[in-house]
Amino acid sequence: MRLLLADDHDLVLETLSAFLTAQGEFEVETRGSLEDALVRIGESPAPDLVLLDYSMPGMNGLDGLERAIAASFGRPVAIMSGTATKAVAQEAIDKGAIGFLPKTMAAKSLVNAVRFMAMGETYVPLDFLNAQDEAADVPLARLLSERERQVLEALTRGLSNKEIARELDLQEVTIKLHVKTLCRKLDAKNRTHAAMIGKEAGIV
């Protein structure tokens, strides 16, 4: 099965590509922008499934999704995101995406989702659809995804990346990405500072 992953974050591409390739059933190619992905989609042999990052260069919201679908001649195209809301996920499906994958998905769930979509079945995680888009009336919390809040809560308990990964059933490298994103969103100097900010703001 030929997969095309398009994301402007090298670490995300390397992590996803390595994990999916290790399954032994996927032939994975990666691109760093929508334009590069569109070029590859038009080449032969065409990818069996295309996964596009929602916020990478050239996407312009879901316009990039529509361009990729038009170029794929009926082959499935899905959206990945670490920040998009349920409304965006639903709009993506309405526009013809075969699925929506939160980047916080557990590794095993990701593989099953890819298999599911490659068979032509639409996939959106139920826990994502059922989750709250925003924490109640806490301004800083609105910046964070549900998974980021879970990681932040674990940081306040002093857990290491490895311990958090085990608790949330995620890869350690994924936790490192979340911690980095948390520090950026909360304007924190380090993980300890992020935990302090989270406590003071009432996020956790």
**pLDDT value at residue 76:** 96
CA atoms of 84 and 46, how far apart (whole Å):
27
Write the class of the CATH domain 139-201.
mainly alpha
**pLDDT value at residue 143:** 77
**C-alpha distances in Å from residue 162, one per residue of 6, 46, 177, 199:** 27, 38, 13, 22
Nearest alpha-carbon partner for 42 in 13, 71, 21, 69: 71
Residues of the chain with pLDDT under 70: 130-141, 204
Nearest alpha-carbon partner for 149 in 140, 158, 159: 140
**pLDDT value at residue 197:** 85
Assign domain 2-130 to its CATH superfamily. Answer: Response regulator (3.40.50.2300)
Reported pTM: 0.65
List where CATH 1.10.10.10 sits in the chain. Answer: 139-201
List where CATH 3.40.50.2300 sits in the chain. Answer: 2-130
